[in-house]
Structure 1
Amino acid sequence: MARNVLLSFLGLSDYKPCFYTYQGETSSYTRFVQTAIYELFKKDGEMDVVIFSTKEAEKNNWIDRVNEENQLVEGLKTTFHRIDPKANIKLVVIDSSQDERANWQLFDAILNEIQEGDCIYFDITHSFRTIPFVSLIVLNYARLVKKASIGKIMYGFFEKLGNPRKVDNIPVEKRLVPIIDVTNMAALLDWTNGVDQFIRTGDATVIQQFTSNEVKKIYTDPDPTIEERKQVSELRELANQLDMVGKLMQTARSLQIAEEIKKFREQLNKVRNIETDTVKPLIPLLDEMEKKYENFTEDPFQNLFAMADWCEKNQLIQPGLTLLQENVVTAICRLFRLDETNKDIRTDLHSAIRILLERIPEEDWQVKNPSFVADIVEKLKPYRDLLKPFNPITEYRNDINHAGTRTDARPPQKFYQQLSESIQKFKPFFEEVSNSSKNYNLK
């Protein structure tokens, strides 16, 4: 069963007692931020605790000891059991060295304490040297290999009270130390990973999953602000729109893609206009996302070409072949003002292109509407040379759609090569019909 677990590090310092606060709640008076976090966040559910400590810190702060004034100083273990006798606490001793070997040992030590599906509350208050860096890597790794999640990343801001030597002069009731929630820094890492995957592949799945999780957190928060809800709602809508465009590309829904990209840009601008500290670091990432569709314009003919080109750049070979061939037919429909969704018209246009390219005599035509086809063949004659790549792309599209079951099936590497070459060969066709449409529409 998934559990909540607090991971924390114990240092050597002679910690001063104080009250820790978080969102209006206050902990018991304590030397240890770990017990404060346990108290303040245990309401989220039962919480196990794992403390990482060097042997030196264990001696100084884990167990009870007698100080120089011959006074008993309570250690973290005793403090925990005093606050909650049933607390499940584990001490893991780590090496105090900071070389590469010790860092890998620390990586293993932390990872070994994370169970499948854990929700991790991570305290970085007393992390030192390379520990925060190694820990963040472990957390990210554990989310992948152990399906763990991050509940909170926290820092006890004791420095707010000033120099530790002066704390003794501060009245007890004024020793209030805030616990700072830095979880959004990990969220930025999630966004970075998601945007990186999107830029490389066009797949927005990671972004969508992350924003969906953030929505759940906000709406289960007992006291979310209106601004927080607005922010996460707009981010979720952006992720959904990205996912929609990606799925349209993957399934070659050519007549919807351009319109959904337009909606994506509109939603992107809404997110940019959210003035919060959380969204500001995302702005450069949003800019990179927008570049992904920079070749889509207001020109409906150039957009038809951009779809296939986008697929080629993102290794979507089968949709790319389909979009390239069908968008040639769609471009002809738009040029001559034909119904681009009419199945019979599109079938006749496929036939007309083949007749034109292979110079098939009229008596050998096998079409339902000879007069319509004859008219189209005549109108397409100026574009004959530009349409020459059409037949080869048809052959490759048929081959890939038959899943390699033909005796003359081509090897897989040939398809990407053919798509890439065909896109470059067809580029002049889309440019020409775009120019022709302006003249044609004036008549």
Structure 2
Amino acid sequence: MTMGRHVLLSFLGLSDYEYCFYTYEGKTSSYTRFVQTAVYELLRGEQPMDVIVFATKEARERNGEDRLRGEEQLEGLMTAFRRIAPEANVKMVDIDNGQDERTNWRLFDRIMSEIGEGDTIYFDITHSFRSIPFVALIVLNYARLVKKAEIGAIVYGWFEVLGRPMDVKQMPPEERLAPIVNLTSMASLLDWTNGVDQFLRTGDAALIRALTEKENRHVFCDPTASRELRNEVAALNKLAKQLDQTEKAIRTCRSLDIDEEVRKFREQLARVRSAPTEAVKPLVPLLDEMEKKYAIFSDDPIINSWQAVRWCLNHGLIQSALTMLEENAVTAICRAFSLDERKEEVRKDIHSTIQIVLRRIPRDEWRVHSPELVERMANALDSYREELKPFGQIKELRNDINHAGTRPNPLPAEKFMPKAVALFEQFSSFFERMSMLAKSMSK
């Protein structure tokens, strides 16, 4: 497997850049007109780094090579690299001077073509102009997805802190110290945007959990981080873990565990809310959305088992919805009649009882574990026969999807969701009656 490169991506403009020293994390660059040489010096580390500079024809002619400014000989970018970092592999790439949609797409293609599989990208935005920073950030996000690229750093050479160029020209070299600002943390907003979008659309909190774990590791490795900050990040990390665990319990149809996972989630959410924090800023505005996602669950376990199906349907989890709709109907009966909902033989007998009630199967055709239990439950459920009618269709639909379309006359894919939603709604009265029965039996 080929290892990706470390690559500095930068842009060259038309300005008459002045010489200065750039500083970064206590280090100082060589005296240079070009932030590109400074970024290369200060961020390269032990790994070799390729340099790719995107420039219009005008920028290349003005700043790519040496030229005269009046009587002053100005060093071009290529000469500066030969002087400061002769080992650097520098490539100039032509880009168009324009702002229309076609030009932006060509720029997108040019940048993407320079990024290899698994590259670590150092992006210098100092001389990006007009829409270039926007396009480049989209490229970075896209390259991370399709080329498995990583962001090493996003930096900006803050030359303006020294004042106007005409004033800088009057300053002695030792006073020309311009910081390189690390903006990499802002790139995490791209990840958070994806994570938040994923959670809101699908309920999947896996990416949010990964991001909070990353932030947790970062804070605990930072010796300057306060105890309060560490506690806040740890609490948010624990909340994200529980959010992910709750979602996974629903997604994988852990139907008997959902109530407990929702309870744990709400407890952790309350802990976080009781100590307001901005430790992981993109996560804080999500707290209300998290609460809304699980507001459908109450302290009624039977109704919750029905709402879990709603949650699946809301997030496009048709197979999970059908599985839980069938199994949760059995669970609701067990809970209403105080049967052991976790005992396999009991569940099988309840499945059989429902079919016996719906199809009026005579006793001599029963194939059950406990005929006494089945007879008792058949008599008890007979008055619920009308509400139980969707059960057979649900079972058939579940079998169709679980057999991966291999059975005779499989249902077309687009038919599953509307049928599942209709059966879910039709079955609501049964869950409501089981809930009412459970409450009356507990009095």
TM-score, structure 2 as length reference: 0.88
Aligned partners of 2:313 and 2:421 also within 8 Å: yes
Matched, 1:351 2:352: yes
2:64 paired residue number:
62
**Superimposed CA distance per residue, residues 205-232 of structure 1 (whole angstroms, 9 cap, x where no aligned partner):** 544555666678778x887846787777
Q: 1:271 to 1:177 in 2, by over 3 A?
A: farther
Deviates more, 1:115-124 or 1:230-239: 230-239
- What amino acid does structure 1 have at the position aligned with 2:294? Y
**Superimposed CA distance per residue, residues 353-394 of structure 1 (whole angstroms, 9 cap, x where no aligned partner):** 222333344454333322222322333344332222112212
Residue 129 of structure 1: how far off its partner (Å): 0.7
Residue 239 of structure 1: how far off its partner (Å): 5.0
Q: 1:161 to 1:223 in 2, by over 3 A?
A: farther
Matched, 1:21 2:28: no
Unaligned 5+ runs, structure 1:
none
2:303 paired residue number:
302
Separation of aligned partners in 1, 2:97 and 2:185: 29
Deviates more, 1:163-172 or 1:127-136: 163-172
Deviates more, 1:369-378 or 1:128-137: 369-378
Q: What is the 5 A alignment of 1:304-343?
A: 304-343=305-344
1:48 paired residue number:
50
2:104 paired residue number:
103
Aligned partners of 1:192 and 1:285 also within 8 Å: no
Matched, 1:366 2:367: yes
**What SS does the aligned partner of 1:384 have?**
helix
Aligned partners of 1:19 and 1:175 also within 8 Å: yes
Separation of aligned partners in 2, 1:77 and 1:2: 25
Separation of aligned partners in 2, 1:104 and 1:2: 25
- What amino acid does structure 2 have at the position aligned with 1:432? R
Aligned partners of 2:155 and 2:184 also within 8 Å: yes
Separation of aligned partners in 2, 1:144 and 1:224: 33
Q: 1:298 to 1:21 in 2, by over 3 A?
A: farther
Q: 1:215 to 1:115 in 2, by over 3 A?
A: farther
Separation of aligned partners in 2, 1:238 and 1:44: 38
Aligned partners of 2:277 and 2:284 also within 8 Å: no
Deviates more, 1:146-155 or 1:372-381: 372-381
- What amino acid does structure 2 have at the position aligned with 1:66? L
Q: 1:28 to 1:189 in 2, by over 3 A?
A: same
How many residues are paired up?
A: 439
**What SS does the aligned partner of 2:44 have?**
helix
- What amino acid does structure 2 have at the position aligned with 1:9? F
Aligned partners of 2:56 and 2:94 also within 8 Å: yes
Matched, 1:186 2:180: no
2:149 paired residue number:
148
Q: 1:42 to 1:97 in 2, by over 3 A?
A: same
Separation of aligned partners in 1, 2:122 and 2:432: 56
Residue 327 of structure 1: how far off its partner (Å): 0.6
**Superimposed CA distance per residue, residues 162-209 of structure 1 (whole angstroms, 9 cap, x where no aligned partner):** 333222344433333222222232211221122223332333454455
Matched, 1:279 2:310: no
Residue 106 of structure 1: how far off its partner (Å): 1.3
**What SS does the aligned partner of 1:116 have?**
coil
Residue 49 of structure 1: how far off its partner (Å): 0.5
Separation of aligned partners in 2, 1:155 and 1:298: 53
Matched, 1:261 2:275: no
Q: 1:372 to 1:148 in 2, by over 3 A?
A: same
**What SS does the aligned partner of 1:86 have?**
coil
**What SS does the aligned partner of 1:6 have?**
strand
Residue 243 of structure 1: how far off its partner (Å): 4.1
2:196 paired residue number:
195
Q: 1:44 to 1:335 in 2, by over 3 A?
A: farther
Separation of aligned partners in 1, 2:11 and 2:41: 17
- What amino acid does structure 1 have at the position aligned with 2:95? I
- What amino acid does structure 2 have at the position aligned with 1:426? F
Aligned partners of 2:215 and 2:280 also within 8 Å: no
Q: 1:308 to 1:119 in 2, by over 3 A?
A: same
Q: 1:286 to 1:162 in 2, by over 3 A?
A: farther
Unaligned 5+ runs, structure 2:
none
Aligned partners of 1:22 and 1:40 also within 8 Å: yes
Which of the numbers 27, 32, 35 marks the counterpart of 1:33?
A: 35
TM-score, structure 1 as length reference: 0.88
